[in-house]
Amino acid sequence: MRIARYKWISVIAAAVLLLTLALPWNGGKTDMKGFSETAELKGLTVTGVSVKSPDNAVKVFLDTYFGVDFGAYESEKTFDEALARLRRHEASAMWAVDLTADYLCRDGEFSALSPGETPGGGNTRFSFGFAFAPESTGELAKADEWIAKAIADGTAGAARERWAAGNAELPSFSEDGKALYIGVTGTVPPLEIVSPDGSVGGAAVELAGRFAESIGRRPVFVVLESETALVHLMAGKVDMLAAYGTSENHSMEIPKYRMSVGYADVAEYRLVVNEKEVSGLITFMSVIKDNLISGGAYSLILRAVAVTAAITLCAWILTMLFGVLLGYGATGKKRAVSATVRGIAFLLRSTPVLLAMLLLDYGVFGTLHISSTVLAALAVGLYGAGTLAEILTEDDAATEADRTFGIYVKTTVPARLLGAKREWKRLMIGLLQWTTVAGYIGANDLTKVMQGIGNRTLFPVFSIAFSIVLYLVAVLITEVAFSAIGRKKQND
Amino acid sequence: MGAFFALLIKVKGNLSYVYNFFVETRGALKTAYFEAAAEGADAAKPYATAQTDPEKWLLSTTISVNGTEVAEYSRAEEIRFTEEYLDHFPKHEGIITYRGSYRRDVTSYGTPALTDGKFGATWRYRTGRFLKCDGVNYWSGNGWTGQPLAVRWDEATKRHMNLYPEAKEKAGLTEIIYPGMDGKIHFLDIETGEETRPAINVGMCFKGTCSLHPEYPLLICGSGDSATGLFGEQVSARIFIYNLIDGKKLYEFAADDPFAPRLWHGFDSSPIYSAATDTVICAGENGVLYTVHLNSSYDAENGILTVNPDEIVRYKYESRSAEERFESSELSNGSGSESSAVVWENYLFFGDNGGIFQCFDLNTMTPVWVQDLREDINSSPVLETTERGEVFLYVATTLKYYYDEHHTGTAVLYKLNAKTGEIVWQKAYEVHTVLGLAGGFLSSGASGTGKVSDYIYYAVSKVPKVDSSCLIAVSKQTGEAIWQKELACDAWSSPALIYAADGSVKLCQCCGNGDILLMDAESGEILDRVNFGSNIESTPVIFENHLAVGLRSEYIVGVELR
């Protein structure tokens, strides 16, 4: 297996450089200080999880709610990412509802600052309840009844207390009945928690699971991003959300989604600030341990590698099968057919892969609850097929008008691919690289998992660098495979 | 293609508005005069005629006392706003409510020299913005009626207040009190624009005009929109009572009111205090009229102010026209009040978004007469008492319901007999209503006295062009325009009259293009102009030779009048 020497050396050098530079030699930020009043945060950066409102609107809200002119507001896609920023002191404060602030402050790592007097101060500002799509009026009525009972008999309160203490576990739920897909965003711990391995927990999740059982359904939890949770609900990807805000409506517009009564009240928002300093010089071994071993990280990484490999291999297979078909159709005798196929191939290779993924997730298969791994492979594979068809039809095949499909597959395609081996190889490597966006639709691929680990350990640069190294190794393996194919053909 | 898209943006995607951007309306139409309608304007008290019988226009009325519905009500301590009281109101020096009095006819305080008839020095103060309940857009600066108050506190009261030391020391300090769309109540020196004390961060936006108690340092302000939050929650608008000694909130009410016929809760209307009975009267856009017995006390010696409200009486009604005209939906049915009411004796006069205008007995909480004006009433009425003891009302509408296929129609200025509700005259203007904004009378009238005692002044929006307006001086007797000035921009702000020391009468008009005009009120001649670069929707306050008003571009500005 002969791979050009420069490629091996490049990958090894990159690995060493990246992993070395990624070490936090300076021990993180040193210019931290505690805050005892919201006024001290004037001009500083606040973070939080992304919500439906854009960041500039959220800043207007935070400025007026807390009566402070903050310097900037920068949101993160997940609660853990926002918390990681706070832990790294890249933001001076993070907004949270009062019950989340209490949860975060329970062990002294954080403290929370309250606003001044607010309208209706001290009373319930809003509540968290279940959110349903408009057509789910039956489930909504049952949910209202069930929540009222859960509050009255103490079930809801007990669940909240258990999860607030920080050591609860999700009970097992019945496996019987039709699935009820429940969206979980992890935005409001301890109501909703999403762990790095994608497992869920929290009082709202527990209550949602118990509610599903009460109506004879099997709860299936689907992890969603906060910003797009409602969109997924309206698209039918999930049947309900475990936790969303509900209050009296005064806007003269009927919301498209339906809210149950609340099971957890919120009186105010708070600003969570970091009481802990980032530790000093970290040894190389402790970085390896924290990012690759501790907390089951190695298991997460191995599973993520498997997911990435599965998406890549499936995409390659789809690329080859469908790409060959498109190539055959594009060079057919009938102009109408060949023009149509060429048009389809053009669309497939021109549509950005991420947008195709989102279209499949929200639109085409939105209500079918198909695995995001499969959808990612499909999106990447279709792009690959469109590109492969272009490679196969570069010479217009007017002279091959009489060929059959069998000859095309056995003779034409291998010849074309070997003749354009470099482009074919670049395509396959490109497809591998495109799998890195699979996390946008919830697939736990290598990129997403490593990013999550980095947010947890506060060394995101190291985990990103490690991911790059793994992808470079995968590229080398692909190069080896193509080299072997080339040599075999040569020998034949 | 570019020009087409630019046009599409201008008409906000609705091509039917293209007509309005190219065609002018006829503007002023003929005045209709009904001489017989003035009869009975000098009667001892109001009464209904066949045309204004409440049963003709209302389906039902409901009264609630402290949350319990009652069949009838009789106020223990009767409210009465006598002519003498209204003539000498208030105890504070300054402008303490919308248009300075509960007749809404005092548009400036004091008699400045105005020897030059020009604007002088200006100042600016930065405010801010507040998220709207859609969670994306925001309210900014000051707007709608948004008139500041201006008070020259007596030294004894100032001594107790949480003013900054330099403000406390300043002799003759005149303080602007200005709740704004940024959710805060700002306190500024009208002469310099400097803060006199820390702003109160209320946490809800204000677009109406607040009221100060005629005798105490007690402020009532109603928020104009729900607040929202990061989970899309709606925090209901409500009415706040603040202690201006220490800036603390004393009380809030009217939030999430289950008695209200409308989901929309907004309180732009400027409240009215009956100091004699310790009762505040607030009309809400949620369709409820509130009277609240404050049970207040003020120890002036020690600066201690308390309230302990003990009777909240609510009134709502259902009009026959609501279903035809208003936002009837599964969420909400009914009309509410956006304009400020006026009072005479024990009667309150107020209008709603559905065109219903009522004379209402505050001591029995029942309507006396009702007149249907057919269109949205945003302009606050002005009450006039003549030397002969006649009482009249000037009320005007905006074009919201009865527009034609070209989005044009009539907005009307009415003179009503306050005793009967009969229409004495009506002056119509053909206006545009486009892009969700109604044309017509958004401003309130400025009723002249002295040299201009026969005049009443209004700004009429979206006439004859969709982006222009007219400033009009109308004869109170005949309803005919005495003069009319077309402005090359829209105007919502209410005109203000200034009575100079030399006997001349000036008029100030704030405009949508950022102009503030100083004019001769008799002739309409523009004497001077100053421009602040952005939309001025709000109505200014004028205290002696200083004017202050808020801009939509997040500034409060002040101008000296020389």
Among chain A residues, the shortest Cα distance to B236 is held by: A250
pLDDT in tens, B505-522: 999 999 999 999 999 999
Query: Domain for residue B7, yes or no?
Result: no
Within-domain flag for B12: no
| Nearest CB partner across the interface for B235, out of A116, A125, A252 | A125
B120 touching chain A per CB within 8 A: no
Residue B266 has pLDDT above 50, yes or no: yes
Give the structural domain span for B417: 25-561
Higher-confidence position of B271 and A418: B271
Is A134 inside any structural domain? yes
- Domain contains A310: yes
Instruction: Tell me the HSE value of B34 on the side-chain side, using a 13 A CA sphere.
Output: 14
Which residues of chain A from 370 to 429 reach within 8 Å of chain B, CB to CB? none
A330: closest CA among A317, A347, A314, A313? A347
Number of H helices, E strands in chain A: 18, 12
Count of structural domains within chain B: 1
Closest approach of B129 to chain A, Cα-based (Å): 7
- Sign of the alpha-carbon torsion through A438, A444, A450, A452: positive
Min Cα–Cα distance to chain A from B184, Å? 8
A58 has a chain B CB within 8 A of its CB: yes
The pLDDT tens digits of the residues spanning B399-415 come to: 998 999 999 999 999 99
Nearest to B138 among A60, A126, A266 (CB): A60
A37 found inside a domain = no
Q: A377 and A323, same structural domain? A: yes
Paired tokens of A162: 């258990």
pLDDT reading at B314 higher than 90: yes
Choice between A108 and B359, residue whose per-residue pLDDT is larger: B359
Cross-chain Cβ contact B128/A63 below 8 Å: yes
CA nearest to A54 within chain B: B136
CATH code at position B182: 2.130.10.10
Burial call B453-472: b when 16+ CB within 10 Å, e when fewer: eebbbbbbbbbbbbbbbbbb
A473 domain residue, yes or no? yes
Q: Are A262 and A300 in a shared domain?
A: no
Last residue of a domain, one of A233, A266, A299: A266
pLDDT of residue A315: 96
- What is the mean predicted confidence (pLDDT) over B164-174? 96
A229-233, A342-346, A356-360: the lowest-pLDDT one: A229-233
Q: How far is A245 from chain B (nearest CA, A)?
A: 5
Is A64 within 8 Å of B182 when comparing Cβ atoms? yes
| Boundaries of domain holding A188 | 126-266
- Do both A369 and A474 map to the same domain? yes
Q: Which residue has the higher pLDDT, A277 or A419?
A: A419
**Residue A268 pLDDT:** 95
One domain for residues A236 and A371: no
- Point out which residues pair with B561 in neighbouring strands: B119
Per the structure, how many domains does chain A have?
2
Q: Do B231 and A53 touch (CB under 8 A)?
A: no
Rg of chain A over all Cα atoms, to the nearest angstrom: 26
Are A485 and A356 contained in the same domain?
A: yes
What does the mean pLDDT of chain B come to? Answer: 94
**What residues of B are in contact with residue A129 (Cβ under 8 Å)?**
none
Nearest CA in chain B to A96: B230
> Does residue A487 share a domain with residue A375?
yes
**B13 within domain boundaries:** no
Nearest to B136 among A54, A247, A250 (CB): A54
Is A164 found in the same domain as A296?
no
Q: Among A58, A477, A41, which residue's Cα sits nearest to residue A271?
A: A41
- In this structure, is residue A93 part of a structural domain? no
Average pLDDT, chain A: 87
Looking at residue A38, what DSSP letter applies? G
Q: For the residues A463-468, what does the mean pLDDT come to? A: 88
Contact assignment for B252 to A118 by CB distance below 8 Å: no
A116 touches B: beta carbon within 8 Å: yes
Asked if the C-beta of B436 comes within 8 angstroms of chain A's C-beta atoms, the answer is no
pLDDT for position A137 = 75
What is the domain-level CATH number for residue A350?
1.10.3720.10
Residues A145 and A259 in one domain: yes
Domain contains B19: no
Q: Which member of A60, A67, A245 has the closest CB to residue B201? A: A67
The nearest alpha carbon in chain B to A249 belongs to B234
Res B328 pLDDT > 60: no
Q: Answer yes or no: do A443 and A351 share one domain.
A: yes
Answer whether residue B521 is part of any domain: yes
Asked if A120 has any chain B CB less than 8 Å from its own CB, the reply is yes
pLDDT for the residue A118: 85
Give the span between the Cα atoms of B463 and B470, in whole angstroms: 6
Query: What ipTM is given for this predicted complex?
Result: 0.87
- Percent of chain A exceeding pLDDT 90 equals 51
User: What digits encode the pLDDT tens for the residues A373-431?
Assistant: 999 999 999 999 999 999 998 765 544 544 688 888 888 888 888 888 889 999 999 99
- Residue B546 domain-assigned? yes
Q: How confident is the model at residue A31 (pLDDT cuts 50, 70, 90)?
A: very low
- Judged by average pLDDT, the poorest of A94-103, A398-407, B322-331, B521-530 is B322-331
Q: Which is nearest to B269 in space by CA: B350, B212, B191?
A: B350
pLDDT value at residue A398: 46
Residue type, A393: T
B209-229 pLDDT, tens digit per residue, is 999 999 999 999 999 999 998
- On whether both A346 and A458 belong to a single domain, the answer is yes
Residue A76 lies in a domain: no
Least trusted range by pLDDT, from A9-13, A149-153, A382-386: A9-13
- Residue among B137, B183, B229 whose CB faces A269 most closely: B229
Which amino acid makes up residue B229?
A: G
Domain membership flag for residue B204: yes
Q: Does B141 touch chain A (CB under 8 A)?
A: no
Q: Does A276 map to a domain?
A: no
Can you give the CATH number for the domain in which A167 is found? 3.40.190
A189-198, A328-337, B510-519 — most confident range:
B510-519
Cα separation, B185 vs A64, in Å, equals 12
Within a domain: residue A108?
no
Within-domain flag for B243: yes
